[in-house]
Amino acid sequence: MVPTSYYVLVSAALFTIGVLGVLMRRNAIIMFMSVELMLNAANLAFVAFAREQLALDGQVMVFFVITVAAAEVAVGLALLVAIFRSKRTTDVDEVNTLKG
C-alpha cells in the first residue's frame, strides 16, 4: 500500500512543472500543454483522495474535469489557429496589439 501523501507529493510536483511551463515558455501551444499538465495533477490528487476516503465522488469529479479539459483544448487550439491566421505566429509576446 502506498500512502496517499506520496501521490499528493507527485501531484504537487507535476502541478509545479505545469506552472513553470506557463510562466517560462513563450510558445502558446507549449503553454497549453502545461495547463493540461496542471489539470492532470489535480486529477491525480482527486483520485488519490477518492481512494483514501473510499468515496467515488472524487472519481466522478475527475470524469467531469476530463470532459471540460477536452472542450477547453478544442476551443483553445481553434483560437490559436485563428490568431496564427492573422498574426503568423504562436509566440505570445508577438500578440500585443492591445498593449498601451
Contact between 79 and other proteins per CB under 8 A: yes
Backbone angles phi, psi at 66, to 5 degrees: -65, -40
Contact characters 17-56, other proteins, x per CB under 8 A: xxxxx-xxxxx-xx-xxx-xx--x--xx--xx-xxx-x-x
The whole-angstrom separation of Cα 43 and Cα 65 is 8
Contact between 8 and other proteins per CB under 8 A: yes
Distances (CA, A) of 99 to 15, 26, 91, 93: 30, 17, 15, 11
Site residues (CB under 8 A) for other proteins?
A: 1-10, 12-21, 23-27, 29-30, 32-34, 36-37, 40, 43-44, 47-48, 50-52, 54, 56-57, 59-60, 62-64, 66-75, 77-82, 84, 90-91, 93
